[in-house]
């Protein structure tokens, strides 16, 4: 089944599509409901919609169900079951599930910690332009986790994540331009990225901007 990107649709548009039995709309609204993203958090309805989407064969639904079990959202917490759903979605090619597989291997919560496997899953998600995965690749390269430490390569990954709009990466790129870490110091670029992060409410970016002034 084709995976559709409904992130730009309003909640009202999603509700109309759900009435037409659209599994992609069910998944997207379920994701927003369990994360409280642009809508009041409602874990019970969120997992109900995710299960309906899964029953219709929509692969990304596995990720939302996995998230609910992993963090006890609307169901009793069961990290093993959550991991199983993440794995199911990941092998079907869903980027968020692949990212969550990376998180699981990085933290070693339900499986043995393995930074190299975490990197592999983050890379798979990054190959699909998943912003948070690029950030993780940057973090791992900056700190030498499962890979040789490489600050320059870390910056490249942070920049890719930032250019996809991930606020933590925008802060890191701004800080790198501010300090000259891994590249030439550039206050204009530093201000550009930090202003983007500050506009999203990031306090670190706001503080750093005051220091530039």
- Number of domains making up the chain: 1
pLDDT in tens, 62-102: 999 999 999 999 999 999 999 999 999 999 899 999 999 99
157 occurs within a structural domain: yes
95 occurs within a structural domain: no
Measured between alpha carbons, how far is 102 from 109 in angstroms, rounded to an integer? 11
Report the CATH number that the domain containing residue 211 is assigned in CATH.
1.25.40.10
* Residue 170: pLDDT over 70: yes
Please report the pLDDT score of residue 211 as a whole number. Answer: 81
Please report the pLDDT score of residue 181 as a whole number. Answer: 74
210 occurs within a structural domain: yes
Q: Find the domain containing 179 and state its range.
A: 131-213
Percent of the chain with pLDDT strictly greater than 90: 89
Helix, strand, coil percent content, the chain, rounded in steps of 5:
70, 0, 30
6 occurs within a structural domain: no
37 occurs within a structural domain: no
Q: Which helix (H) or strand (E) holds 159?
A: helix 151-163
21 occurs within a structural domain: no
Measured between alpha carbons, how far is 107 from 93 in angstroms, rounded to an integer? 22
């Amino acid at each position: 089944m084709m995976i559709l990107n409904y992130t730009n649709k309003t909640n009202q548009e999603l509700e109309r599509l759900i009435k037409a039995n659209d599994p992609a709309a069910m998944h997207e609204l379920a994701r927003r409901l369990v994360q409280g993203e642009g809508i009041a958090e409602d874990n019970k309805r969120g997992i109900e919609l995710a299960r309906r989407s899964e029953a219709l064969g929509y692969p990304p639904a596995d990720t939302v169900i996995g998230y609910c079990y992993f963090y006890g959202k609307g169901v009793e917490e069961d990290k093993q079951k959550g991991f199983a759903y993440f794995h199911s979605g990941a092998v079907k090619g869903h980027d968020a599930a692949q990212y969550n597989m990376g998180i699981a291997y990085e933290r070693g919560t339900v499986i043995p910690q393995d930074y190299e496997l975490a990197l592999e899953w983050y890379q798979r998600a990054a190959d699909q332009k998943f912003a948070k995965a690029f950030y993780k690749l940057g973090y791992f390269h900056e700190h030498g986790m499962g890979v040789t430490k490489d600050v320059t390569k870390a910056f490249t990954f942070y920049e890719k994540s930032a250019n996809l709009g991930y606020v933590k990466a925008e802060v890191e790129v701004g800080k790198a331009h501010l300090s000259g870490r891994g590249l030439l110091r550039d206050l204009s670029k530093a201000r550009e990225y930090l202003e983007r992060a500050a506009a999203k409410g990031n306090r670190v970016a706001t503080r750093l901007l005051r220091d530039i002034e």
